[in-house]
Amino acid sequence: MMVQDLVIIGAGGHARTCIDAIESISDFRIAGLVGGTEQKGSQLFGYPIIGSDEDLEVIAKTIKFAFIGAGQIYSSSTRERLFHLAVKLGFTLPTIISRSAVVSRHAKLGAGTLVAAGAIVNAGAVVGQNCIINSRSLIEHDCRVGDHCHISTGAILNGNVSVGRGSFIGSGSIIKNGTLVTDNVFVPMSSTVIDDITTVDTVRSGH
């Protein structure tokens, strides 16, 4: 595959992780980033911030590939909005796997998903679109992770865990094998989840 130009949509902290992962592989060349209006004309790690959201329609005419570089903690709404906007404008959103990550050939990853440095996705796991599988997290065998989720740094999903769309699993959290976490749930950092979470309210106090 020839090296393709790619634009990162988002120019904050998470975009730095995306840059690292993209630089570690040879498929894409970062043509620039899209950030806030006040960021236009500046740089991030030497890459130019070439526009804001309002410029994406013009950028899409010359750059085929995009990747969502906005982060996600309490809500997936920003990442979802940017993902759907990029698709609507005709961008192709690739899956980015850091060179230091390990992804089983028997796992499936959706479009626009990042597997960051040191993360592991094991056999039979299915990860949806536009997810963040962050540094050193573990997605064990046969897990299901819905679209627009963030599995944060060092989090562990044991075998057969199911995480619904838009959910956040905080850093260092451990989810017991076979557990269900429903849609749009926020699991705080360092949580131990041993029971199903079927409503958003149940997780606010932790498990």
Task: Output the pLDDT for position 1.
Answer: 64
Structure-token pair, residue 194: 């041993």
Tell me the per-residue pLDDT of 143-190, one tens digit each, with 9 for 90 and over.
Answer: 999 999 999 999 999 999 999 999 999 999 999 999 999 999 999 999
Question: Residues near 120 by Cβ (< 8 Å), separated by ≥ 6?
Answer: 101, 102, 103, 137, 138, 139
Backbone angles phi, psi at 19, to 5 degrees: -60, -45
Q: Measured at the alpha carbon of residue 130, what is the angle toward residues 120 and 155, in degrees to the nearest 5? A: 35
pLDDT tens string 36-76 = 999 988 999 999 999 999 999 999 999 999 999 999 999 99
CATH number belonging to the domain at 95-207, selected among 2.40.30.40, 2.160.10.10, 2.60.120.10, 3.20.20.10 = 2.160.10.10
Domain range list for the chain: 4-88, 95-207
Element (H, E) at 29: strand 28-34
Q: What is the pTM of this model?
A: 0.95
Q: Write down the H helix ranges in 24-134.
A: 56-59, 77-88
Q: According to the CATH classification, is domain 4-88 in 3.30.420.40?
A: no
Q: Which pLDDT value is given to residue 2?
A: 87
Q: What is the mean pLDDT of residues 120-147?
A: 98
> What pLDDT is attached to residue 22?
98
